[in-house]
Amino acid sequence: MIPLSWYLILSAALFSIGLFGVLSRRNAVAILLGIELMLNAVNINLVSFWRYGDVSMMAGQVFAIIVFAVAASEVAVGLALVISVYRSRNTVIADEIDLMKW
Amino acid sequence: MTPDLIAFFVLALIAIAAALGMLLGRNVVYSALFLVLNFGTVAVFYILLDAPFIALTQVSVYAGAIMVLFLFVIMLLGTETLPVSKALPWQRPLAFVLALILAGEAGYLLFFRKVTSGTIPQPVQTFGSPQAVGQALFNQYLLPFEVTSVLLLIAMVGAIVLTIKEKGGQGK
């Protein structure tokens, strides 16, 4: 049986890669892709803790499903924001969307 | 080495490589496709963890719906590649140093902690089934489920409001 910590390390690695993508990419759509990867890494954690804990407690899987729904709504609103910004400013580069920058 | 371990290592390599490809790809379409590959391997991880319902939801919702939405928006806006810009010069080495420190801390905590590993419960066939998940979702976790439905409704309304064109306005 695979130790729990290996799943946690894999999940941490995926989360860190996603976080780096969020912080380093300039394309707003690519930033949303990084957020998706981070949510996915969280889901691996939830399901593996469910599997290695008390299997009759379904909280891990239920949480994972709720994270799916949150990810779907986040993508819908995020992409709508990107389209809206592209219409008004004709760019998707995060550095150039600086209307509210002080 | 048991087949479990071999499968885990191969899948973990594929998942990390796909995530790195997502990170380093210049073209956003390739990034999205690498992310689809990553989601597919993660779905196989869920099957290894005896959660088949989550695995299939992952494939249909993440790799199917969400990534298709991404690809549509990328191609709709026509912004697959962006001109490269010079980043701050000290940013990249600093990021590598901080990432190494973070990875070291995480590895130390996870590997060298004194852990009393209890017995791992045997895989129970019924607990990963859609029936068990649905019963937990509609009995014990009914309120979070309803909150999720309200959240989806808000997201739908928000997406429509953000992208709708105002009639009679400047057509921004």
CATH number, position A71: 1.10.287.3510
Q: What is the pLDDT of residue A78?
A: 92
Which structural domain, as residue segments, surrounds residue A81? 26-95
Q: Which domain holds residue B20?
A: 1-81
Q: What total of structural domains would you count in chain A?
A: 1
Long-range contacts made by residues B76-85, C-beta under 8 angstroms, separation at least 24? B76/A83, B77/A29, B77/A82, B77/A83, B77/A86, B77/A92, B79/A27, B79/A29, B79/A86, B79/A92, B79/B28, B80/B27, B80/B28, B80/B29, B81/B26, B81/B27, B81/B28, B82/A26, B82/A27, B82/A92, B82/A93, B84/B26, B85/A26, B85/A95
Q: Is residue A18 part of a domain?
A: no
Q: Is position A45 within any domain?
A: yes
Number of domain units in chain B: 1
Nearest CB to B148; choose among A51, A69, A82? A69
**Could A76 and B74 be called an inter-chain contact, meaning their C-beta atoms sit closer than 8 Å?**
no
Domain for residue B154, yes or no? no
In which band, very low, low, confident or very high, does the pLDDT at B171 lie, cut at 50, 70 and 90? very low
Angle, helices B28-48 vs A4-24, to 10°: value is: 160
Evaluate if residue B119 carries a pLDDT over 60.
Answer: no
Which ipTM was obtained for this model? 0.90
In a domain, B88, yes or no: no
Give the rounded percent of residues in chain A with a pLDDT score beyond 70.
99
User: Residue A65: inside a domain, yes or no?
Assistant: yes
Mean pLDDT of chain B: 83
Within a domain: residue A39? yes
User: The CATH number of the domain where B27 resides is what?
Assistant: 1.20.120.1200
| Band of pLDDT at residue A87, cut at 50, 70 and 90 | confident
Q: Scanning every residue of chain A, which has its alpha carbon at the shortest distance from the alpha carbon of B103?
A: A13
pLDDT of residue B27: 87
| B33 part of a folded domain | yes
pLDDT confidence of residue B43: 94
* Nearest CB partner across the interface for A62, out of B35, B120, B133: B133
Residues A48-62 have a mean pLDDT of 84
Is residue B87 included in any domain, yes or no?
Answer: no
Residue B111 lies in a domain: no
**In chain A, which residue's Cα lies nearest the Cα of B152?**
A73
For residue B149, what pLDDT band results from cuts at 50, 70 and 90? very high
Which chain B residues are Cβ-neighbours of A64 within 8 angstroms? 51, 54
Q: How confident is the model at residue A54 (pLDDT cuts 50, 70, 90)?
A: confident
